[in-house]
Amino acid sequence: MGEVGLEAYLFVGAVLFVCGVVCMATKRNGIGVLMGVELVLNGANVNFVAFSRYTPLGLDGQATALFVVVLAAAEAAVALAIALNYYNNHLTIDVDRGNELQG
Amino acid sequence: MTEQLLFWVFAILTCGGAVAVVATQNVVRMAFWLVVSLGSVAALFFLLHADFLGAAQLLIYVGGTVVLLVFGVMLTASGHTIKVQASPAEVMLGSGVGLVLLFVLLFGINSVDWADVSARIPAAGDSPAVVDETQDRHLREQLASATTPEEKAAAEEAIQAVHARRQAGRTVRQLGLSFYGLRPDRDLNQPAGQSLAAGYLLPFEIISIHLLVVLIGAAYLARAKRRATSGPGVDL
């Protein structure tokens, strides 16, 4: 067990990011896709905070991470409203059925 | 030692929770694993000396966003929709692409010399460095054994410097000031004539307006449309 450094946190962030991307790509449930987005944003946040601790960037990384958290909350609210509308119109949350939206 | 142990526990919980979110097909269980993963990320923030951010992560993400997602699941789940599965070929393709992406990222992180990169960044006034406990004790012994006033003053100054560095783990006041556009963490103890560091007043105002717009927009999008035209003569 070596000393915990910057790389270890970056690895955790990379794993979170990849899990989120795979979740967004493979889930057919709209809410599942939203959860993938949350995972991606959290992976980025882990990177921001790790850089703010282990490099002379100081507080900038944490401030950016706070903005990301707030933006993620706002995005979840709007996306959920859209998902509810989608469910009201299609009576399903399967994103593959959304191909009528074109145009 | 404790910090390493905690890091490994929470890193494994974070990654395991994220993988479980991908692997699980039931949406409610996905939400549970998301709580595990995001809560462990908050613990990692605490380990990284970001106390306010960890608390905000727990309050906003685990307490707010995930609850919102669970409500979304409850409002949209009806029998067959709770398990909408992708075909095995899509799952294989997705996980293959994901593995390739993971290896690219890990290879990239490994091949960069991060110490060299951080050495090239201009240092802030007080970078949140690791506090050395033995140094603190040593300085206190120096202060106790100081005889002349000059020695005493020098020792007190050194102790104050160590305490300033210890503030590294307490970020609430600094973050709040940076949202007012003040950066004491960068501007204090700098040579005179240097321009002040940038604060976050404008992004803070923008994100406040953004949140207001989002709240109104979400309420507008999620309103009950069927009831809107039901009243006699009311055309909305």
pTM of the model: 0.77
Mean pLDDT in chain A?
87
DSSP single-letter state for residue A29: B
Residue with structure tokens 């809560």?
A: B39
pLDDT score, position B124: 56
Q: Residue B218: its chain A contacts at CB < 8 A?
A: 77-78, 80-81
Higher confidence at residue B166 or residue B193?
Answer: B193
Cα dihedral: B167, B171, B172, B176 (round 10): 110
Q: What is chain B's alpha carbon radius of gyration, rounded to the nearest angstrom? A: 26
Q: All domains of chain A, ordered by start, with CATH?
A: 9-91 (1.10.287.3510)
Confidence of residue B172 (pLDDT cuts 50, 70, 90): confident
pLDDT score, position B26: 86
Q: Which of A27-41, A45-59, A86-100, B56-70 has the lowest mean pLDDT?
A: A86-100
Higher confidence at residue B231 or residue B195?
Answer: B195
Q: Find, in chain B, the residue whose alpha carbon is nearest to that of A50.
A: B48
How much of chain B, in percent, has pLDDT values that exceed 70? 80
Q: Residue A50: its chain B contacts at CB < 8 A?
A: 48
Pick the most confident of A55-59, B93-97, B185-189. Answer: B93-97
Tell me phi and psi for residue B194, to 5 degrees. Answer: -80, 140
Q: Which of B132-136, B185-189, B215-219, B227-231 has the lowest mean pLDDT?
A: B227-231
What is the topology classification, in CATH, of domain B1-81?
Answer: Four Helix Bundle (Hemerythrin (Met), subunit A) (1.20.120)
- Rounded mean pLDDT, B23-31: 88
Smallest Cα distance from A8 to chain B, Å: 9
Does residue B132 surpass a pLDDT of 60? no
Q: What are the residue boundaries of the structural domains of chain B, listed by start? A: 1-81, 133-218
pLDDT score, position B164: 60
What's the token pair of residue B92?
A: 């294989």
Asked whether A53 and B49 are in contact (CB, 8 A), the reply is yes
Residues 6 or more apart in contact with residue B39 via CB below 8 angstroms: B13, B58, B62
pLDDT score, position B59: 92
CA dist., res. B11 & res. B37, Å (int): 9
Smallest Cα distance from A38 to chain B, Å: 9
**How many Cβ pairs within 8 Å bridge chains A and B?**
232
Residue with structure tokens 């993620």?
A: A72
